[in-house]
Amino acid sequence: DPPPELWLEVVDWITLAFWTLNIPMSVMVGYVHEGVTVMVPSLILRRYMTTWFMVDMLVVIPDWIFSLLEVKTRSEADS
């Protein structure tokens, strides 16, 4: 049987990949403004950058830092 920590590690990486990929995907999704669906890429990007972008960065960047530090710590402990 695999160690129970392996399952948590796999879930952590899947979650990190999902939220990381969600950032560029957010720019490919239109929005509704005053009852009109906006599908103009430059307007979508501008809206995303002024709404959810900073929140996404505040979540994803620390998660990447902690995940990479954990990998580095584990590799140093194994050698």
pLDDT digits (tens, 9 = 90+) for 19-28: 999 999 999 9
Phi, psi (deg, nearest 5) at residue 27: -80, -15
Find out whether 67 and 12 touch, Cβ atoms under 8 Å.
Answer: yes
Structure tokens at 48: 């995303």
CA distance 64 to 13: 9
Model confidence, pTM: 0.81
- Backbone φ and ψ of 30, nearest 5°: -70, 180
Contact between 29 and 77 under an 8 Å Cβ cutoff? The reply is no
* Model pLDDT for residues 3-59, shown as the tens digit of each residue: 778 889 999 999 999 999 999 999 999 999 999 999 999 999 999 999 999 999 999
